[in-house]
Structure 1
Amino acid sequence: MTTTVESTTRSEAAITEAEIDAGRRAHELDRTHVFHSWQAQGPFSPMTVLRAEGSRVWDGEGRELLDFSSQLVNTNIGHQHPAVVAAIQEQAGKLCTIAPQHVNDARSEAARLITELTPDGLDHVFFTNGGADANEHAIRMARLHTGRHKVLSAYRSYHGGTQLAVNVTGDPRRFPNDYSAEGVVHFMPAYPYRSYFGSETEEQETERALRHLEDMILLEGPDRIAALVLETVPGTAGIYAPPPGYLAGVRELTRKHGIVYIADEVMAGFGRTGAWFAVDHWDVAPDLITFAKGVNSGYVPLGGVAISRPIYETFVDRTYPGGLTYSGHPLACAAAVATITAMREEGMVENAARLGTDVIGPRLREIAERHQSVGDVRGLGCFWAVELVKDRTTREPLAPYGGSSKAMAELMKALLAGGVLAFANFNRIHVVPPLNTPDEDVIRGLEVLDEALAVADAHVA
């Protein structure tokens, strides 16, 4: 059954010369004054965005592009959703900001709506400014709750750019910031396509990955480990869903050893996988859930930690030593209320599930059959990865781990020339459109990807 989704109204007005001139001035000022994240500043030439609406953006020259990236996989409801824009405007007219020790109705309602969506027992929310500080605070809560210090996290993961969060991260962005002083121990994840355990089936991968994890727990000292942090479905690290039984096994091990299980749903949460939270697919209830991005589609910065009763009770009579000036900011929380309401009323989560099952998944599998450069396609909802290789047999990646390549640069250029703004990481293209993208736009984006992959095929050994 097709779910009806009310897409945002597409802008009919053409980009004007005045807008283009203003964009050129903005680009000039950017290069003169702005220091960009995750970039060498000299050779970087960022794309200017003049306008955005629904599943589209317009670049500095007025060119219309299909946003297949949801920016940083956060504009889950697309750009400029009128209900969310109106909610921010209304809140600004009533109460722009207030200190977090005071009650404000937007924060109270946002917390109520979020806890309606979390697994049973996670009934309290601590609001942060984004995903990195959500993970930092979740770990702080776990350490205070358990009286332990060590943190386990997986390789091929990303948990944020602040000091502790980037050390918990298990991808190369950690390397320049890793001084082995944060009490973090990394373990090998369950990753069926590139199994670290020589697995030939998902069942083997689950069994071997869990055995490895328990070995790590025992070797590191169970009574020293405060928390295990795990992206339910890793995002920038590869969108590789856990094999059946893996998350249940992780939950069992954390309970067995008294370790706080933190599910990082910063990217996977709020409908991205076709469920409100990705843990819902595997019926797992963590001790803490961290979130951000899709909670309000990034319209105003917001993140948070959903907290289980036992951890909440630790701080009933004991002061929690942490806070933020903008915790539960009224504008951000009003955007969250409007976003969650719009997602419910317009069936966006159900639509994301349908897009994954009926549109994206089948077409990506067809594309994989046509292109020798495609080693694997995987995902669910509006959360998919196309893993590109030089050789399907050896699975040698089309770009090295931690870097890019001429082949990937050519592919991204071809996608942009086709009118698609894509998300790439190392040797992968991620297919992550907004959850309410019309079917015809998703299909067109996949057709552009299909044509562009001829560029990648030319690099196959």
Structure 2
Amino acid sequence: MTTTAAHTAAGSGVSEAELEAGRRAYELDRKHVFHSWSAQEQIKPMTVIRAEGSYVWDGEGNRLLDFSSQLVNTNIGHQHPKVVAAIQEQAGKLCTIAPQFANDARSEAARLVAELTPGELDKVFFTNGGADAVEHAIRMARLHTGRYKVLSAYRSYHGGTALAVNVTGDPRRIANDYGNAGTVHFHAPFLYRSQFHAATEAEETQRALEHLETTIQLEGADRFAAIILESIPGTAGIMVPPPGYLQGVRELATKYGMMFIADEVMAGFGRSGKWFAIDHFDVVPDLLTFAKGVNSGYVPLGGVAISPEIYATFADRPYPGGLTYSGHPLACAAAVATINAMREERMVEHAADLGETVFGPGLAELAAKHSSIGEVRGVGAFWAIELVKNQQTREPMAAYGGSSPAMNELIAACKSRGLLPFANFNRIHVVPPLNISAEDARAGLAILDEALEATDRHVES
């Protein structure tokens, strides 16, 4: 008997009016909407007509368990009543105001963020999302140091705007990369596919740090304004850094006078089982970027948390940057409600517990069972399943930067059973809302268990 979280329209309480609205939405989408990262005539976007908690309903009225948190941003799930109410209340009081004016929503959101960030990152510059947070963090580092170059890792993602996509290390950068953005890429640790012929985490850390320092020296140690790293890389594969690596990066940044920017856009706000992923490593960066989970994307918001040293640069010197919607009241009210709800409902602790008691053990069982799984890795509610054609050669089930019939079959098998997955290249990421119930989390893993038969059929001996 097939395990499924799906329900047909007849049994899910979806009305005919909702279905008709969904059909109309799809028709207009195909006529007028230009989609990101897509060949426009080759896509058939899924229509979503309703969402609640850990579930979404598609245009046919089927209910799907959201194991993607959309783009790993709905950390508190869909339509959380406390956040919806806060947005409604704020809209009735002050919908918008220019960023040069103080307002209570932005002030309280900044206070709460500063309360959570590591060290003394107590000043917050609000942006509209993660990409412009990265842009402004790099701009601050460049102005603070008087230098231009920026180091970032291959297998990383930092955003889609001009500078952020050049800092990005995944294939989406390439079409936009003209070699003139001042970015230099290096290999970060990834033991399963080690660039350093390492056999242990200790070797991977040592050799990755040696490679990084050599890159700094060969590229001009006095030319770098910053190094930017995702504390735990997200879209690129959820490769948790081995012990000692981020501490080593912090030391190299200090040694060579560059700013260490921790990109917490995806990994932050509880995703890893701590408020920020960098908290796992006892490291304090000079700048920290955030977005996504700060208010679960209910209203677009991002930001940069700033060290006292960098703040001092702009204490009596104007910072040459700003945004019309910086600290937008609706977005900040949503952030305040989100952070408070996460604390009151202990969502961060719940995510940590899910990682230890459900996802870690459950995914290990799947890895032992399925010949197409090369590795599972992660922490909290932040996990990746690396799919391979052969466990010995570790040949990916899809090429880096692409997909494959096997991966398409797996995604279709998940959806047909009522699971909305997050897929990237040869991986499925297990990244549901942080407040998903243990029961629903196990149900999602059970669906994955069945769906993985699709990739097992493509394993080559």
TM over 0.5: yes
1:14 aligns with 2:19: no
The residue that corresponds to 2:453 in the other structure is 454
| Separation in structure 1 between the aligned mates of residue 58 and residue 120 of structure 2, nearest angstrom | 45
SS at match of 2:367: helix
SS at match of 1:98: coil
The residue that corresponds to 1:33 in the other structure is 32
The residue that corresponds to 1:243 in the other structure is 242
The residue that corresponds to 2:5 in the other structure is none
| Separation in structure 2 between the aligned mates of residue 200 and residue 19 of structure 1, nearest angstrom | 55
- Does the 8 A contact of 2:128 with 2:325 survive in 1? yes
The residue that corresponds to 1:344 in the other structure is 343
1:236 alignment partner AA: T
SS at match of 1:156: coil
| Separation in structure 2 between the aligned mates of residue 80 and residue 324 of structure 1, nearest angstrom | 27
The residue that corresponds to 1:7 in the other structure is none
For residues 293-347 of structure 1, the C-alpha deviation after alignment (integer angstroms, 9 at most, x for no partner) is 0000000000000000000000001100000000000000000000000000000
Q: Which stretches in structure 1 are left out of the alignment for 5+ residues?
A: 1-11
SS at match of 1:42: helix
For residues 174-207 of structure 1, the C-alpha deviation after alignment (integer angstroms, 9 at most, x for no partner) is 0100000100000001111110000000000000
2:441 alignment partner AA: V
| Separation in structure 2 between the aligned mates of residue 60 and residue 98 of structure 1, nearest angstrom | 36
Structure 1 residue 34, shift from structure 2 partner:
0.4
Runs of 4+ in structure 1 off by over 4 angstroms are none
Structure 1 residue 222, shift from structure 2 partner:
1.3
The residue that corresponds to 2:192 in the other structure is 193
For residues 184-236 of structure 1, the C-alpha deviation after alignment (integer angstroms, 9 at most, x for no partner) is 00000111111000000000000000000000111111110000000010010
SS at match of 1:404: coil
The residue that corresponds to 2:375 in the other structure is 376
The residue that corresponds to 1:172 in the other structure is 171
Q: Which stretches in structure 2 are left out of the alignment for 5+ residues?
A: 1-10
- Does the 8 A contact of 2:189 with 2:204 survive in 1? yes
| Separation in structure 2 between the aligned mates of residue 346 and residue 39 of structure 1, nearest angstrom | 38
- Report matched runs for 1:272-287 at 5 Å: 272-287=271-286
| Separation in structure 2 between the aligned mates of residue 280 and residue 159 of structure 1, nearest angstrom | 20
| Separation in structure 1 between the aligned mates of residue 79 and residue 29 of structure 2, nearest angstrom | 23
2:120 alignment partner AA: G
- Report matched runs for 1:210-359 at 5 Å: 210-359=209-358
| Separation in structure 1 between the aligned mates of residue 144 and residue 42 of structure 2, nearest angstrom | 46
For residues 274-300 of structure 1, the C-alpha deviation after alignment (integer angstroms, 9 at most, x for no partner) is 000001001100000000000000000
Pairs aligned (count): 450
Structure 1 residue 120, shift from structure 2 partner:
1.7
1:390 alignment partner AA: K
| TM-score normalized by the length of structure 2 | 0.97
SS at match of 2:375: strand
Structure 1 residue 50, shift from structure 2 partner:
0.5
1:101 aligns with 2:100: yes
SS at match of 1:109: helix
For residues 3-45 of structure 1, the C-alpha deviation after alignment (integer angstroms, 9 at most, x for no partner) is xxxxxxxxx9711001100110010000000000000000211
- Report matched runs for 1:77-88 at 5 Å: 77-88=76-87
- Report matched runs for 1:415-434 at 5 Å: 415-434=414-433
User: How large is the Cα RMSD of the aligned pairs?
Assistant: 0.7
- Does the 8 A contact of 2:237 with 2:427 survive in 1? yes
1:419 alignment partner AA: G
| Separation in structure 1 between the aligned mates of residue 184 and residue 348 of structure 2, nearest angstrom | 35
1:161 alignment partner AA: G
| Separation in structure 2 between the aligned mates of residue 190 and residue 96 of structure 1, nearest angstrom | 45
1:125 alignment partner AA: V
| Separation in structure 2 between the aligned mates of residue 345 and residue 25 of structure 1, nearest angstrom | 39
| Separation in structure 1 between the aligned mates of residue 98 and residue 455 of structure 2, nearest angstrom | 52
SS at match of 2:92: helix
| Separation in structure 2 between the aligned mates of residue 378 and residue 120 of structure 1, nearest angstrom | 28
- Does the 8 A contact of 2:12 with 2:62 survive in 1? no
| Separation in structure 2 between the aligned mates of residue 192 and residue 328 of structure 1, nearest angstrom | 40
| Separation in structure 2 between the aligned mates of residue 352 and residue 270 of structure 1, nearest angstrom | 11
1:279 alignment partner AA: I
| Separation in structure 2 between the aligned mates of residue 441 and residue 373 of structure 1, nearest angstrom | 24
- Residue identity over aligned pairs, in percent, reads 73
1:360 alignment partner AA: F
The residue that corresponds to 1:71 in the other structure is 70
2:45 alignment partner AA: P
